[in-house]
């Protein structure tokens, strides 16, 4: 699914929730929703060229990928206390995901995360 505006973030979360309803445990699905919303928001704010979300479920692993269409890797950012909630998306991903990373492509990049677990 491709999206180009921030209003789509809640729609993407809802679609992930529906997709995972009978495929993944509720607690992990909630974490996946949070992390997905952070990555989609980052892609839309920093690229303004839309994003494509891909979700894969295996017996013991959930993988979510957010692809944008602007070259350049995300910059590491350490927020300070005055930033409010700005700049914490990748910190959340790093803290809550079992694995995550960024893959460069000819046009854009994919930021991904994985959660380990078992299906319900």
What would the 3-class secondary structure string for 24-72 be? CCHHHHHHHHHHHHHHHHHHHHHHCCCEEEEEEEECCEEEEEEEECCCC
pLDDT at 47: 76
Q: In what order do the strands lie in the sheet with 99-104?
A: 2-3, 51-58, 61-68, 109-116, 99-104
Round to whole Å and give the CA distance between 7 and 70. Answer: 20
Reported as a single tens digit per residue, the pLDDT across 16-68 is 999 999 888 888 899 999 999 999 988 888 777 788 999 999 889 999 999 98
Distance CA 51, CA 35 (A): 15
Give the largest Cα separation in the chain, rounded.
Answer: 42
Q: Could you tell me the two tokens for 71? A: 């070259």
Q: Is pLDDT of 105 > 50?
A: yes
Tens digit of each residue's pLDDT (9 = 90 or more) over 1-25: 444 577 788 999 999 999 999 888 8
Which tokens belong to 95? 């803290």
> What average pLDDT does range 79-84 have in this prediction?
50
């Amino acid at each position: 699914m491709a999206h180009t505006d921030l209003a789509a973030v809640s729609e993407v979360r809802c679609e992930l929730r529906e997709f995972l309803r009978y495929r993944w445990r509720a607690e992990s699905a909630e974490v996946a929703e949070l992390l997905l919303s952070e990555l989609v928001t980052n892609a839309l704010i920093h690229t303004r060229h839309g994003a494509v979300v891909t979700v894969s479920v295996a017996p013991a692993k959930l993988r979510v990928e957010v692809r944008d269409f602007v070259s350049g890797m995300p910059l590491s950012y350490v927020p300070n206390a005055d930033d409010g909630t700005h700049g914490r998306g990748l910190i959340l991903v790093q803290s809550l995901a079992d694995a995550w990373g960024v893959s460069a492509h000819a046009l854009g990049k994919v930021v991904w995360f994985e959660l380990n677990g078992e299906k319900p």
